[in-house]
Structure 1
Amino acid sequence: MATTRLLLVRHGESVATVRQIVGGAVGCTGLSDLGRLQAERLRERLVAGHEPTVDAIVASTLPRAVETAEILDAELRLGVTTDERLVEHIAGDADGLGWSEVVERYGDPQWDRLPHTRMAPGAESLAEFFCRVGAVLHDLTEAYLGRTVLVSCHGGVIDMALRGVLGLPYRSNHDLWTLNCSFTELAARHADGELPDRWRLVRYNDAAHLAGLPARTEV
């Protein structure tokens, strides 16, 4: 029998979050100072020897996720592979706008509650996002079968991953609020060479390493 583990890490606090703007390919400029400190804390925890040994690091292509992965890899020394399918929910024309401006321009199409609506022109629907996350996690499982892969990604990606694994509806009246630089562990036991047919949620939103840090950058 083999064990495959996915360590899903939400990136550290981003400049886009501090500025309250939509942080897609246009709006994302990387981590805040606090976000870098959060990533350093997580790195210290991962190399202390009490967590599963990481075999590979894969990151979203957005700067905040890449920067988080690179900070972790400064000690893990595995190299960082990127996959654009791990990016946050694609915002289309809303990318780079302030969240209040998004509502002023496009109203509230309930894109986060209805499967077919979009935040703005060119944006991804919730159904498309859910399917994208499911596909990339399947491919990562296949590529790293029997190993532990750390995935530096986004709150929305982790949300969709858990809904898929736990069989929750991807549209509902509840939220999963994943903290910056927390990690969520999924594990599966399976026969050697065979893909898992059942995942186990080992832990969600583990942020013990961030004790003593501010919850957010105050502006």
Structure 2
Amino acid sequence: MKPTHFWLIRHGETEWNANRRLQGWLDIPLSDVGRAQAQQLAAHLRSLDQPEFQAVLSSDLSRAAETARIATEHLGLPVQTSATLRERNYGIFQGLDWAALTENLNTQGINLRAPEQAIEEGESFQAFAHRIADAFESLAREYAGKNLLIFAHGGVIDIAWRKAGGHSLLVKREGTILNTSINRFDISATGEWKMGEWNQVGHLDTPSLDDVMHT
């Protein structure tokens, strides 16, 4: 049986992304920049001959779901949303900017990347990783052998990178997961993950659909 092929895409930019504030489960909408990125992604997806996608799924947070709707409208597929694809719940730390967050954590002795570190009103890194791995493996069984477009968050993509690349939660990932980046991986019928092309953003150099329609 063929593996299930995933195209995992990060949502477009939000104002909180630009201001380096931790969003987590807070439902922060796309900015104008983020919507333009989603339009550019749509133009790229329209230009592809392959693959043919059988389903579009998204986190239920609006920054991911709106990116999905804009980018895949031409496919004529419903955007199915699920809370299981949400970003990590950072609990009481959500809404803080990174500078303040780092300062607070240093004084409190808290390490958000320690796998078993408890987060008040939130998820540990380990619990988040289990949730995301379970979500993708469940989708692989439900859509066995299909091509799926998934719209989610930087943290979700980080966990997929770890699973597909064989990296533990203790490994430091280099580089930034970019907004509307395309990240590809497969999950086989036996549950094995295989890495494909990662963090692809060449489409951001192409015109948006609005630009195309006015030229």
Match of 1:36 in 2: 35
Cα-to-partner distance string for 1:157-216 (whole Å, 9 max, x where unaligned): 11111211222111223335221101111135x6xxxx2443332200111111279xxx
Higher helix share: 2
Match of 1:210 in 2: 204
Match of 1:11 in 2: 11
Cα-to-partner distance string for 1:78-111 (whole Å, 9 max, x where unaligned): 0111111111111101222323333454445121
Match of 2:152 in 1: 153
Distance in 1, Cα, partners of 2:53 & 2:10: 16
Unaligned runs of 5+ in 2: 208-215
The TM-score normalised by the length of structure 2 is: 0.86
Q: Among all aligned residue pairs of Structure 1 and Structure 2, give the percentage whose two residues are the same amino acid.
A: 31
Match of 2:171 in 1: 172
The TM-score normalised by the length of structure 1 is: 0.85
Number of matched pairs = 205
Cα-to-partner distance string for 1:108-167 (whole Å, 9 max, x where unaligned): 51212x11114x421211111111111000111111112111110111111111211222
Give the match's secondary structure for 1:206: coil
Q: Single out whichever of 15-24 and 71-80 deviates more from structure 2.
A: 15-24
Match of 2:212 in 1: none
Instruction: Report if aligned partners of 1:163, 1:170 keep a CA contact under 8 Å in 2.
Output: yes
Unaligned runs of 5+ in 1: 214-219
Amino acid at match of 2:37: Q
Superposed CA RMSD: 2.0
Return closer, same or farther for 1:141/1:65 CA change in 2, 3 Å cut-off. Answer: same
Instruction: Report if aligned partners of 2:137, 2:191 keep a CA contact under 8 Å in 1.
Output: no
Give 1:83-98 correspondences, 5 Å limit: 83-98=82-97
